[in-house]
Amino acid sequence: MRKLPDFDPPNGSGAESVADEACLSEARHGFAGVVVRVEAPESGNLPQDEMERRLLEMGFVEGAKVELLHLGPFGGDPIAVKLDDMRVALRRRDARGVVVRLNRASAA
């Protein structure tokens, strides 16, 4: 998956594409977008299918609005996100399993 460190849409491009998608773990403070899909993170303490299930149960489902609210003090970990109407904190390694797309309405 292509890394988009600041999630800025390409200049002059109004079309959405896979290139506009990236892992939530790569987002910067203030990012606002939507969840595209959940993929099990490649590493962690839990088996991939268990971590994917937990992310889905927390509310990281397709179409959910997500906004990055806070970065932890040590290397930006953990992160706090607004997920629809609730707030969730998670490790960046777990956030790698959440694929998001920039919310174009908030970028304008």
Give domain status of residue 24, yes or no.
yes
What residues contact residue 1 under an 8 Å CB cut-off, 6+ apart?
Answer: 21, 22, 23, 99
Here the CATH number for the domain that contains residue 100 is 2.30.30.90
User: What is the number of domains present in the chain?
Assistant: 1
Question: Which tens digit of pLDDT belongs to each residue from 1-24?
Answer: 444 444 544 333 444 445 588 999
Give domain status of residue 49, yes or no.
yes
Which stretch of 3-7, 21-25, 46-50, 76-80 has the lowest confidence by average pLDDT?
3-7
Give domain status of residue 14, yes or no.
no
Give domain status of residue 100, yes or no.
yes
Q: Which domain holds residue 79?
A: 19-107
Give domain status of residue 89, yes or no.
yes
Give domain status of residue 3, yes or no.
no
Give domain status of residue 85, yes or no.
yes
Furthest CA-CA distance within the chain = 42
